[in-house]
Structure formats: structure tokens, C-alpha cells
């Protein structure tokens, strides 16, 4: 089973399309020690694993603590233990030799199932990741942040730059392990994205705090490929940030998603 089949299978198994972002800011917790942060993350996974098919880990929340943060990054895939798909939101993307070692770090050493990759340096910055046939690569296509307009929507010969990226991904998806990062805040552009994208999963941040449209984002994927709805702050900062609050918020999103699909 290739990666894109694997992630779809896990979503069908749990009847959900929710990707919970484990973007834990321990400065906002009642105890900001890294030991507490680690146990807090494990408690979140325990409380939500029956609902969540996918977890995404933004590396910036952990890398800022150096080797101590990396120890937590190492433990998360071990703790998930194939019960869900893990995404390393590391946004790597460098020239070939560097990307080879980034891929080894994320996939071989840390053990994540997939990674987010920036395509700015071109095809050879993506290839080392997709050569891991059983691993997934989510390429930044049209992102959810306001600054995406600076480059991604610029026109070259009357074609938006993000469309060139998507078309490149279409041609590179020989192992069916490429997906796209498509921000849910771009709800007016989703049909245009759809028009140039071959069937592949879309990782869709921007629901919740950024105001993305859940229904539009979800339904376009259900019709054609797979929309993975990423929610981080909208769940982690629910009420008092207690694990039971996070469980409740996860269930609420799950029920909304199940109703729409």
C-alpha cells in the first residue's frame, strides 16, 4: 500500500478527516517544563487517538529547545505507534544533497510517516523525499497565510505560480506519495486548485482561528481526492487547555466532519 492509499485508509477506518496539530506552546501551560510538555502531548494522543487519523507536529515548537526538544520529537512517532499517520511539519526543501540528509533525519531517524516540503528550490529539492516510496510528502501549494499572496499568486504568462507548483507535483507523483498543502482560507481559489491538481490528498490548515471554510474545504476533497482538515489552536486552546477540553473539541470537530461527509 502506497502512502496516499495508507492515509486514505486510516481516514476511512476512523470515519474522520481531522488532522490534530500538536503545536504545543508550553509557555501557555500551567507547567512549562519540557517533561510536563512531553507527558501532556502523550495525554493528548491518548485522549484523541480513537478519533484522529492524523497528527501534525510543527517542528518550530520543539526545535527552539535544541536537543531537549528533539528528544520529544523522537518520542511522538514512537508513542503514536502506527495508530495514526504522523506529519512532520518541518517545511524542508534544499538542494539535493542537503535534502537527502533532511529526508534521512525525518524518516529514518525520527520515524515520521510524512513531511511538509517547500518547493521554492525546485524539483531536486523534492525528489529525495519522494524517493521514500512508503513515506508521504506534502508540498506547499497555496498556503493559508496572508503572505502567500506575495509569491504564490503572482502570474507568470498569465498562470499563477502556485499552479506551476501543483503541475510539477502531478508529474512527480510516480509513487503516489505526494500531497499538497492548500490553505482553507483560500476558499475562493479551491476550484482553480482543483482544476490543475491530479488526485492526491490536500492538507488544509486555516480552519478555526484563521477563518477557513470547513464545509467547502471538506467537500471538494470528498468529491475528488481527500481533504485533510488540520486544526491546531482551535483545539489545543479550547477552554482551559486541559486534556478533557481538548478531547471535547476534537470530538466536536469530528462530529462536524462526519456530518458533512
Task: Indicate the domain borders of the chain.
Answer: 3-260
pLDDT given for residue 239 in this prediction:
67
Per-block mean pLDDT, blocks of 10 residues, the chain (261 long): 96 97 90 93 97 98 95 97 97 91 97 97 95 97 86 87 95 97 87 91 85 85 86 84 91 95 88
pLDDT given for residue 206 in this prediction:
86
Residue whose grid cell is 486514505: 8
- Long-range pairs for 256-261: beta carbons < 8 A, 24 or more residues apart: 256/214, 257/16, 257/17, 257/18, 257/214, 257/218, 257/229, 258/15, 258/16, 260/214, 260/215, 260/218, 260/219, 260/222, 261/15, 261/17, 261/218, 261/222
State how far the Cα of 213 lies from the Cα of 195, in Å rounded to an integer.
19
DSSP secondary structure string, 36-59?
HHHHHHHHHHHHHTTT-SEEEEET
What's the pTM? 0.95
The helix (run of H) or strand (run of E) holding residue 159 is: strand 159-160
State how far the Cα of 220 lies from the Cα of 181, in Å rounded to an integer.
14
Residue whose grid cell is 499568486: 153
pLDDT given for residue 213 in this prediction:
85
* CATH 3.20.20.70 describes domain 3-260: yes
Start-end of H helices in 49-196: 60-63, 66-80, 96-103, 123-130, 148-151, 161-172, 190-196
pLDDT given for residue 159 in this prediction:
87
pLDDT given for residue 235 in this prediction:
92
State how far the Cα of 119 lies from the Cα of 223, in Å rounded to an integer.
26
In the residue annotation, 239 being an active-site residue is answered as: no
pLDDT given for residue 50 in this prediction:
97
Given the residues 10, 14, 56, 91, the one annotated as active site: 91
Contact present, 231 and 52 (Cβ < 8 Å): no
Amino acid at each position: 500500500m502506497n502512502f496516499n492509499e495508507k492515509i486514505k485508509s486510516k481516514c476511512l477506518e476512523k470515519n474522520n478527516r481531522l488532522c490534530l496539530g500538536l503545536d504545543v506552546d508550553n509557555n501557555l501551560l500551567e507547567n512549562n517544563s519540557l517533561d510536563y510538555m512531553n507527558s501532556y502531548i502523550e495525554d493528548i494522543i491518548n485522549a484523541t487517538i480513537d478519533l484522529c487519523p492524523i497528527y501534525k507536529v510543527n517542528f518550530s515548537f520543539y526545535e527552539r529547545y535544541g536537543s531537549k526538544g528533539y528528544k520529544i520529537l523522537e518520542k511522538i512517532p514512537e508513542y503514536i505507534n502506527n495508530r495514526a499517520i504522523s506529519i512532520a511539519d518541518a517545511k524542508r526543501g534544499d538542494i539535493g544533497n542537503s535534502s537527502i540528509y533532511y529526508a534521512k533525519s525525518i524518516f529514518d531517524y525520527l520515524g515520521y510517516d510524512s513531511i511538509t516540503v517547500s518547493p521554492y528550490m525546485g524539483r531536486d529539492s523534492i525528489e529525495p523525499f519522494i524517493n521514500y516510496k512508503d513515506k508521504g510528502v506534502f508540498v506547499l501549494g497555496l498556503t493559508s497565510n496572508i503572505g502567500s499572496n506575495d509569491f504564490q499568486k503572482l502570474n507568470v504568462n498569465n498562470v499563477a505560480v502556485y499552479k506551476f507548483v501543483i503541475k510539477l507535483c502531478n508529474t512527480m507523483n510516480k509513487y503516489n506519495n505526494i500531497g499538497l498543502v492548500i490553505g482553507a482560507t483560500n476558499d475562493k481559489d479551491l476550484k482553480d486548485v482543483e482544476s490543475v491538481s491530479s488526485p492526491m490528498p490536500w492538507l488544509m490548515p486555516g480552519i478555526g482561528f484563521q477563518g477557513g471554510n470547513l464545509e467547502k474545504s471538506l467537500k471538494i476533497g470528498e468529491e475528488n481526492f481527500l481533504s485533510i482538515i488540520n486544526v491546531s489552536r482551535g483545539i489545543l486552546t479550547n477552554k482551559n487547555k486541559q486534556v478533557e477540553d481538548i478531547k471535547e473539541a476534537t470530538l466536536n470537530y469530528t462530529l462536524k466532519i462526519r456530518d458533512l461527509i
